[in-house]
Amino acid sequence: MSKQIVKTILVSLILFSCISEGKAGGSWLWGTGQGFFQVQFIPLASVYDKLLNGTGFNDRNINREVYALDYGLYGEFGLTDRLNIMASLPFKYARVGGLTETPDAFPNLLEEGSIHGLSNVRLGLKYGILDKDLKVAISAITSLNTVTTDLERGLATGFQGTSAGLTAHVGGGIGPKWYAFGELGFQYMFNDFDDAIEGALEIGRKINSKFTVLMRFDIRESLENGDFYDERLVQTGLFPSNQSWIAGSLKVNYESPQNYGLNFGMALIPIKFQNVGYTGSFAFGAYVKI
């Protein structure tokens, strides 16, 4: 298997990891006074010198190499048995480096440099509608414009637009070892950014009392209905308004009897991308339940 294909197979992990932070519980809710808190670390495997655009392995050249690192905290907590609060505190480091083999891919050459700061802080409330074998919930989520930018270098730590939206969650257990859930939501973007459809499908199997393996498909589809456009962000793939993806990922979770755990993720199925950096990444998480 070629290096480029391996990079494409891994690229969507960073997207999978960032999205799954905001939807970690699916249609399940935590009881009053109970919760889940996770720290996550997502380094890129290497710099990228192309952007993925289209289905499969289609790519687009850029002028400079780009590197990024994400890390942050995520939590869910039960205010009541039917109402949970969700919050994420993400950070991002990004760097524009040396020239690629196609330094004239875009007409404007960016300067070298780096940036570090908060990404889009997310806050949400999840309300349980049905709690039987089939579980149904709805959540209201806002993503805040808490980002840092250096647009002369095409650098941003997140989307420069606040958003608000609703997500529906449906899922449940399938026998003693399997579970599945699906989610679909709409995010209305302010600051002239494109609105987006966000969704996920997750299927998991308990291997034993400590290990669970899950497959997840994530989608973010830009509706391309906003007026914001900045070629410098398109050059770097760092949160242009019309960024989209559909990707499948595999994750392994370990949970101890003391209610703490570890997880590791790896993307397996790249389906569709738009303005996404062409490189691999790995996600490591540690969490505790209270």
Q: Read off the pLDDT of residues 109-137 as tens digits, 9 standing for 90 and up.
A: 999 999 999 999 999 999 999 999 999 99
How far is Cα 20 from Cα 216, in angstroms, rounded to an integer?
9
Binned at pLDDT 50, 70 and 90, residue 9 comes out as very low
In this prediction, residue 17 carries a pLDDT of 39
Q: What is the DSSP letter of 226?
A: -
Q: Is residue 182 over pLDDT 90?
A: yes
Q: Is residue 23 over pLDDT 60?
A: no
**Average pLDDT value for the chain:** 89
Token pair 């209270």: residue = 290
Please tell me the least confidently modeled range out of 50-59, 88-97, 162-171.
50-59
- CATH label, 3-289, candidates 2.60.40.1220, 3.40.50.1820, 2.40.160.40, 2.40.10.10: 2.40.160.40
* Angle of CA points 257, 258, 259, to nearest 5°: 90
Q: Is residue 21 over pLDDT 50?
A: no
Largest CA distance in the chain: 58
Higher pLDDT, 8 or 226: 226
Domain boundaries, the chain: 3-289
- Compute the CA torsion angle 30, 142, 11, 51 (nearest 10 deg): 180
Binned at pLDDT 50, 70 and 90, residue 20 comes out as very low
Tell me what percent of the residues of the chain surpass a pLDDT of 90.
Answer: 73
Q: Is residue 157 over pLDDT 60?
A: yes
